Amino acid sequence: MGVPFTPRFLVEKLSTHPEPESLLAISDTLAEYKLESLALQLGENKLDQLLFAQIMLFLDRMSVEVLRGWILLHLTTFILKKLVKFRQFI
């Protein structure tokens, strides 16, 4: 994510919050870093659905990265081949 932070700042930020032991303190700290967050209240019978949703989100992001890498690799290869042919022509 590339978010700069120091553990000292986080501890200070959370401990000085009006409700230091709450999800609100964590949410406010994340908001200060401009990170989106979402709090959920789930029963034990819904935990497997949450895990499935996280896995699907992870796979979705990974598939985008793999596709982006594949396109970049093929574009780079195509451009390099054209440059090699061009240099041989000169």
Domain ranges across the chain = 1-39, 42-90
Gap between the Cα atoms of 42 and 36, Å rounded: 19
pLDDT computed for residue 51 by the predictor: 75
* pTM given for the model: 0.44
The contacts of residue 33 (CB under 8 Å, 6+ apart) are 3, 5
What would the mean pLDDT of 64-82 be, rounded to a whole number? Answer: 87
Q: Is the pLDDT of residue 53 over 80?
A: no
Gap between the Cα atoms of 52 and 58, Å rounded: 10
Burial class (CB in 10 A: 0-12, 13-18, 19+), 62: exposed
pLDDT band at 1 (very low <50, low <70, confident <90, very high): low
What would the mean pLDDT of 21-36 be, rounded to a whole number? Answer: 86
What would the mean pLDDT of 26-52 be, rounded to a whole number? Answer: 79
Place of tokens 């932070």: 5
